[in-house]
Amino acid sequence: MTMDEFPAYRGDLRYHCLECKSVYPGDELHYTCPECSGVFLLQDHNFSELKKTSGEDWRAVFDQRAAGKMTQMQGIFRFFELIAPVVDKEDVVYLGEGNTPVIESSPRLQKNVGRKMAFKNDGQNPSASFKDRGMACAFSYLNQLVKKNNWDQVLTICASTGDTSASAALYAAYVDGPVKSVVLLPQGKVTSQQLSQPLGSGSVVIELPGVFDDCMRVVEYLADNFRVALLNSKNPWRILGQESYAFEIAQWSNWDMAGRCVFVPIGNAGNITAVMNGFLKLKKLDIIDELPRIFGVQSTHADPVYRYYRQNPGDRSYAPVEVTPSVAQAAMIGNPVSFPRVRELAAKYQQEQGEDAFNVVHVQEQQIIESMLLANQNGHIACTQGGECLAGLIQARDQGLVGADEFSILDATAHALKFSGFQEMYFNRSFSPGYGITPRQEYINQPQSVLSEEDKERMSKDEFTRAAVNEMVRILGLQGN
């Protein structure tokens, strides 16, 4: 096969319920098990076919495709056989998602943190978050279903803290035809930039008092009882697309994951599910020899997964938590729908690579925002969830969980600009007490005004320029040459 041919391989994807273990064919849309309401993961029953190709050959295929030109293979579907090998070429939706850069931190930041590290900038996806990876897959599959079933109307819905809704609205607007998008948001708990995204894409935007978990329950009920297509990561096609994040990290690492740690914030827990599943698939196909260590990170204001794993193995019980305000607002979730997936995959991951291959740490709000500021004052474009990952790395370092010889890749899940309001609150010292954040002068940066409107009105253009120069010379302490 040449690098610009669409792959011929076709998988046999089936829904596997993680609770009652029922299996359903993958040719219709399911979100939860009709038997027991458990969550699904999709498994390819032809996977053994893929094992007939050696790991070395797979690496060569993916490396060649990275240099290819076919639109459909430019994004997440570079890894077609591992993602959704049931989608036809003409149904692939590509809006520029995936292939996000891994940016190694400056020597100054690495010295400050005392660990080797990089951010993978998933904010450089089209709607400025990692959700686009999952949406590209979910919408490509949806296209296929629409074609097969001749549907003349599909109402897509999702609950969101902001990123999922931006992404769902963008892809729905592009696909158009019978697809109409509705998003449900917790009122006042989505940043203004994120709210502007589905509005701008023409989605129906509905706001509900409460938090994300309240919205999620509503869309789950709608998905169970009405003809709507759920686009949250409960939809397992989303998970498949997001696995591309793991594949890209492995490819960036030249397929050598020894000594690598990957830090992922946990909100609804779809992404950490996808990251673990992605690396497990690569290992099964001998594309990588060893799994990287995974660190899930949660805020102390939304940490049900951390609380589960801090209990003794064999004695653990899961309980949702009531969230309190968090600057890592995208992860401000008390009852992650993918928790059963995390439990299942973390166990497999640890079985494969040892106990310390999967860890969860929790961090304070103060650490999250200041880690974001620290990263960005060192040339990154990390969002608050990226800050959460850096805070997690620092925490893991302090607990002796990450060695000086290991290299950590941190998930900056969204673009910093989506969360600039939190930076502003820090700089203006305007956080409400619920956040538990006390801004410190060393991180604060504010604009300094020179001259006034009146000055501008009374001065000629030349006088005004000269006066402005004088002010800047005074502030900056400039010397003439």
Ligand X SMILES: N[C@@H](CCOP(=O)(O)O)C(=O)O
Q: Which residues bind ligand X (CB under 6 A)?
A: 131, 158, 160-164, 212, 232-233, 267-268, 270, 330
Name the minimum Å distance from CB 66 to ligand X.
26
Pick 94 or 212: Cβ nearer ligand X: 212
Pick 117 or 416: Cβ nearer ligand X: 416
Pick 91 or 163: Cβ nearer ligand X: 163
Tokens (6 digits) for 470: 């004088």
Strand 358-363, strand 293-299: pairing: parallel
Name the minimum Å distance from CB 354 to ligand X.
28
Contact 156, 229 (CB under 8 A): yes
Name the minimum Å distance from CB 399 to ligand X.
26
Name the minimum Å distance from CB 168 to ligand X.
8
Name the minimum Å distance from CB 473 to ligand X.
47
Name the minimum Å distance from CB 338 to ligand X.
7
Pick 209 or 400: Cβ nearer ligand X: 209
Contact 13, 26 (CB under 8 A): yes
Name the minimum Å distance from CB 235 to ligand X.
8
Name the minimum Å distance from CB 267 to ligand X.
4
**Inter-axis angle of helices 163-175 and 192-200, nearest 10:** 10
Pick 203 or 232: Cβ nearer ligand X: 232
Pick 170 or 287: Cβ nearer ligand X: 170
Pick 158 or 264: Cβ nearer ligand X: 158
Pick 164 or 408: Cβ nearer ligand X: 164
Pick 281 or 418: Cβ nearer ligand X: 418
From CA 466, how far away is CA 130, in angstroms rounded? 47
Name the minimum Å distance from CB 376 to ligand X.
20
Pick 257 or 391: Cβ nearer ligand X: 391
Name the minimum Å distance from CB 70 to ligand X.
28
From CA 480, how far away is CA 215, in angstroms rounded? 61
Pick 59 or 133: Cβ nearer ligand X: 133
Name the minimum Å distance from CB 172 to ligand X.
14
Pick 117 or 182: Cβ nearer ligand X: 182
Tokens (6 digits) for 349: 């991951």
Tokens (6 digits) for 324: 């309190």
* HEC readout, the chain: CCCCCCCCCCCCEEEEECCCCCEEECCCCCCECCCCCCEEEEEECCHHHHCCCCHHHHHHHHHHHHCCCCHHHCCHHHHHHHHCCCCCHHHCCCCCCCCCCEEECCHHHHHHHCCEEEEEEHHHCCCCECHHHHHHHHHHHHHHHHHHHCCCCEEEEEECCCHHHHHHHHHHHHHCCCEEEEEEEECCCCCHHHHHHHHHCCCEEEEECCCHHHHHHHHHHHHHHCCCEECCCCCHHHHHHHCHHHHHHHHHCCCCCCCEEEEEECCCCHHHHHHHHHHHHHHHCCCCCCCCEEEEEEECCCCHHHHHHCCCCCCCCCCCCCCCCCCCHHHCCCCCCCHHHHHHHHHHHHHHHCHHHEEEEEECHHHHHHHHHHHHCCCCCCCHHHHHHHHHHHHHHHCCCCCCCCEEEEEECECHHHHHHHHHHHHCCCCCHHHCCCCCHHHCCCCCCCCCHHHHHHCCHHHHHHHHHHHHHHHHCCCCC
Name the minimum Å distance from CB 440 to ligand X.
28
CA-based R_g, the chain, Å: 23
From CA 345, how far away is CA 266, in angstroms rounded? 14
